[in-house]
């Protein structure tokens, strides 16, 4: 493939134009004269997890709550292992972020007193179908912000642990972009598609999380030697069966309970408030033969049913269509639920880059926000906005001391040939799709997927690690005929890097901290004496090196010292 080379310079490069990336760009653009460039694999108008919309802002300080009680809740739900400092700093900005979204045009449901209508203590109801177009419109209306849509960033440009920018390629034209920036912000989202999905055939991309979020940001950081945290705290969603539509809309919206096939409520009081235990209880009902499990909706009113149809059409139309296909609805039939395959998502769990209070990573001049930043679970939409604002503020305050440095031409040439060589590989024995499916099968069977009820053992992880290493070698020999195939190869390689790190993190935590999320058969109990620690890692010389770190409190100002 003959690529044209385009070299660009900007003050701030934001990789990923989803929720966090767009809001970060907007904050910088509105508060400085800095030039901002967003590079997005898709089109920012509908890219990222919010493509289809969302019907609630699930991180909000509701009536009677405070940022302190929010941190307490997240800490309890996450079995004590969170970066309290990060959760706290985001919590203090959640409501301001919601107000800002409303000012951008997002409809937020209000009661007769003009107060936001809450859905539980920490969630407010919105009409969020249009949430991403609103954010994108605000970004593109800024004079000092440019957007490169349909450009896949492959790797950072790094010199002496300092990120100088990034390199990527257009998905529409034969162009490789070399982008130098004073500061780079990773906002790429988390990783889906690591494990065999719920629906393996026709509907294999009917996932809970965007299948285009492939862990690219994590993988770039891993390859560059950034410190990562808490990959072993996976996220597994409890969803409507098959359609993978949200269950919270029903559970909180019409206040239903979870029942097994015998009609028994199976959640104990202590499990009702804990995200992973709601999932674990459901999985265990199936393991002991009392499944399938349901949300008990039978008997809800016609009005409630009608509202549920509308809610699902807005954000997960598959569920509404499924009801109509069966000529039924939630008032007539309970809704079957199941767990999804595991994901690595910093917006829900604590996985991601190890960052300081300003969301700076351990690589100089590189920030990570949103799903890419670790340590701060349950940030959801508003938490991602808050992190975008925190990083933006830090960039504005510190960028004067940063300069644009060019990477050496021979190193750029080497990077280009790393991208280009896939077009010149000989035809391999294995296809791109086969490598992806093999990776998902290995992870499912040996690294705690659906097949094993999310459990794993040291011996199984050993097999998984070996197979993932082999697949990385196989993937290097894959052949691309088109830019889209080149993208697919890059995505598989990124996922394999995430898998390699994930396996080592699962192995390192010798306890079971979060049921299902991290279910170690060799160590089935929680061990607070030894494991109130963050499991972190650095990829160096082809190996994942694990390091354990002490917990950080909510009032600490954590700065990197290494």
Partner 1 sequence: MSILIDPAKCISCGRCCNICPGNLIETGNTDKAFIKYPTECWGCTACLKECPAGAIKYYLGEDIGGKGGYLYTKSHQDCINWHIVSSDKKRYHIQINKQESNKY
Chain residues that interact with partner 1, rule: CB under 8 A:
41-43, 45-48, 51-52, 55, 107-109, 117, 119, 125-127, 129-130, 150, 171-172, 199, 201-207, 210-212, 242-243, 249-250, 252-254, 307-311, 313-314, 317-318, 320-322, 324-327, 484
Give the angle subtended at the CA of 352 by the CAs of 79 and 380, to the nearest 5°: 70
Smallest gap from Cβ 109 to partner 1, in A, equals 3
544 SS3 class: strand
Give the angle subtended at the CA of 145 by the CAs of 404 and 219, to the nearest 5°: 60
Q: Which is nearer to partner 1, 173 or 397 (CB)?
A: 173
Smallest gap from Cβ 537 to partner 1, in A, equals 30
Q: Which is nearer to partner 1, 252 or 398 (CB)?
A: 252
Smallest gap from Cβ 541 to partner 1, in A, equals 35
C-alpha torsion sign, points 269, 274, 280, 282 = positive
Would you give the DSSP letter of residue 113? Answer: T
Smallest gap from Cβ 369 to partner 1, in A, equals 19
Q: Which is nearer to partner 1, 435 or 506 (CB)?
A: 435
Cβ partners under 8 Å of residue 306, min gap 6 = none
The residue ranges of DSSP E strands in 299-446, in sequence order, are 335-339, 352-353, 366-368
Decide if 246 contacts 239 (C-beta within 8 A). Answer: yes
Smallest gap from Cβ 42 to partner 1, in A, equals 4
Q: Which is nearer to partner 1, 29 or 126 (CB)?
A: 126
Smallest gap from Cβ 111 to partner 1, in A, equals 11
Q: Which is nearer to partner 1, 229 or 304 (CB)?
A: 304
Q: Which is nearer to partner 1, 204 or 533 (CB)?
A: 204
26 SS3 class: helix
Smallest gap from Cβ 338 to partner 1, in A, equals 12
Smallest gap from Cβ 27 to partner 1, in A, equals 23
**Residue at token pair 């991208």:** 419
C-alpha torsion sign, points 440, 445, 448, 449 = positive
Q: Which is nearer to partner 1, 105 or 524 (CB)?
A: 105
Smallest gap from Cβ 147 to partner 1, in A, equals 12
The contacts found for 509-512 with CB under 8 angstroms, 24 or more apart, are 509/232, 509/535
Q: Can the peptide bond before residue 136 be classed as cis, meaning omega within 30 degrees of 0?
A: no
Helix, strand, coil tally for the chain in percent (to 5): 40, 20, 40
Q: Which is nearer to partner 1, 116 or 539 (CB)?
A: 116
Q: Which is nearer to partner 1, 322 or 505 (CB)?
A: 322
Q: Which of 123, 64, 382 is nearest to 275 (CA)?
A: 123
Q: Which is nearer to partner 1, 108 or 135 (CB)?
A: 108
CA–CA separation, 68 and 30 (whole Å): 29
Smallest gap from Cβ 216 to partner 1, in A, equals 14
Antiparallel, parallel or unpaired: β 335-339 and 293-295 = antiparallel
CA–CA separation, 392 and 100 (whole Å): 15
CA–CA separation, 141 and 103 (whole Å): 15
Q: Which is nearer to partner 1, 309 or 423 (CB)?
A: 309
The DSSP annotation for 484-496 comes to: HHHHHHHHHHHHH
Phi/psi region, residue 286 (left: phi>0; alpha: psi -120 to 50; beta: rest), is alpha
Q: Which is nearer to partner 1, 80 or 317 (CB)?
A: 317
Smallest gap from Cβ 201 to partner 1, in A, equals 5
Smallest gap from Cβ 203 to partner 1, in A, equals 4
Q: How far is CA 98 from CA 23, 48, 61, 357, in A?
A: 12, 19, 10, 22
Decide if 116 contacts 124 (C-beta within 8 A). Answer: yes
CA–CA separation, 90 and 382 (whole Å): 9
Length of the chain: 562
Q: Which is nearer to partner 1, 272 or 324 (CB)?
A: 324
Smallest gap from Cβ 50 to partner 1, in A, equals 10
Smallest gap from Cβ 82 to partner 1, in A, equals 29
Cβ partners under 8 Å of residue 340, min gap 6 = 197, 198, 207, 208, 236, 237, 238, 239, 244, 450
CA–CA separation, 431 and 305 (whole Å): 46
First to last CA, the chain: 41
**Residue at token pair 């049913």:** 305
Q: Which is nearer to partner 1, 257 or 324 (CB)?
A: 324
């Amino acid at each position: 493939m003959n690529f044209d080379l385009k070299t660009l310079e900007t003050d701030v490069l934001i990789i990923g134009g989803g929720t966090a990336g767009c809001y970060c760009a907007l904050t910088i653009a509105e508060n400085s004269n800095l030039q901002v460039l967003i590079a997005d694999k898709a089109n920012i108008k509908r890219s990222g997890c919010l493509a289809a919309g969302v019907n609630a802002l699930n991180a909000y300080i509701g009536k009677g709550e405070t940022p302190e009680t929010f941190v307490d809740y997240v800490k309890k739900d996450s079995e004590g292992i969170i970066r309290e400092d990060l959760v706290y700093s985001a919590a203090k900005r959640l409501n301001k972020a919601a107000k800002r979204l409303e000012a951008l045009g997002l409809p937020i449901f209000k009661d007769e007193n003009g107060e936001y209508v809450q859905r539980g203590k920490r969630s407010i109801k919105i009409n969020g179908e249009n949430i991403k177009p609103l954010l994108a419109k605000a970004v593109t209306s800024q004079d000092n912000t440019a957007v490169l849509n349909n450009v896949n960033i492959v790797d950072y440009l790094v010199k002496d642990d300092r990120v100088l920018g990034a390199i990527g390629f257009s998905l529409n034209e034969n162009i490789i972009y070399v982008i130098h920036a004073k500061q780079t912000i990773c906002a790429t989202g988390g990783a889906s598609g690591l494990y065999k999905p719920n629906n393996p055939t026709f509907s294999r991309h009917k996932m809970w999380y965007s299948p285009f979020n492939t862990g690219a940001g994590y993988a770039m950081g891993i390859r560059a030697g950034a410190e990562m945290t808490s990959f072993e705290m996976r996220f597994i969603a409890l969803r409507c069966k098959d359609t993978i539509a949200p269950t919270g809309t029903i559970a909180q919206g019409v206040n239903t309970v979870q029942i097994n096939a015998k009609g028994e409520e199976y959640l104990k009081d202590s499990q009702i408030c804990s995200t992973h235990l709601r999932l674990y209880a459901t999985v265990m009902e199936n393991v002991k033969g009392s499944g399938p499990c349901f949300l008990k909706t039978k008997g809800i009113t016609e009005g409630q049913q009608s509202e549920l149809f509308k809610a699902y059409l807005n954000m997960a139309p598959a569920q509404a269509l499924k009801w109509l296909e069966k000529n039924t609805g939630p008032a007539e039939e309970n809704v079957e639920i199941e767990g999804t395959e595991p994901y690595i998502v910093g917006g829900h769990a604590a996985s991601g880059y190890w960052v300081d209070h300003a969301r700076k990573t351990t690589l100089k001049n590189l920030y990570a926000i949103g799903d890419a930043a670790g340590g701060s679970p349950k940030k959801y939409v508003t938490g991602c906005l808050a992190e975008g604002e925190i990083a933006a503020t830090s960039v504005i305050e510190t960028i004067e001391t940063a300069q644009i440095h060019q990477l050496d031409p021979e190193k750029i040439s080497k990077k280009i040939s790393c991208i280009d060589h896939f077009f010149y590989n000989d035809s391999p024995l294995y296809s791109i799709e086969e490598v992806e499916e093999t990776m998902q099968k290995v992870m499912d069977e040996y690294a705690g997927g659906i097949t094993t009820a999310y459990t794993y053992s040291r011996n199984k992880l050993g097999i998984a690690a070996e197979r993932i290493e082999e697949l990385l070698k196989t993937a290097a020999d894959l052949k691309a005929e088109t830019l889209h195939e080149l993208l697919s190869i890059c995505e598989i390689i990124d996922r394999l890097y995430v898998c390699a790190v994930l396996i080592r993190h699962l192995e390192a935590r010798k306890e079971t901290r979060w049921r299902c999320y991290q279910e170690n058969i060799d160590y089935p109990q929680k061990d607070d004496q030894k494991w109130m620690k963050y499991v972190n890692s650095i990829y160096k010389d082809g190996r994942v090196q694990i390091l354990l770190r002490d917990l950080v409190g909510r009032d600490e100002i954590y700065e990197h010292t290494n």
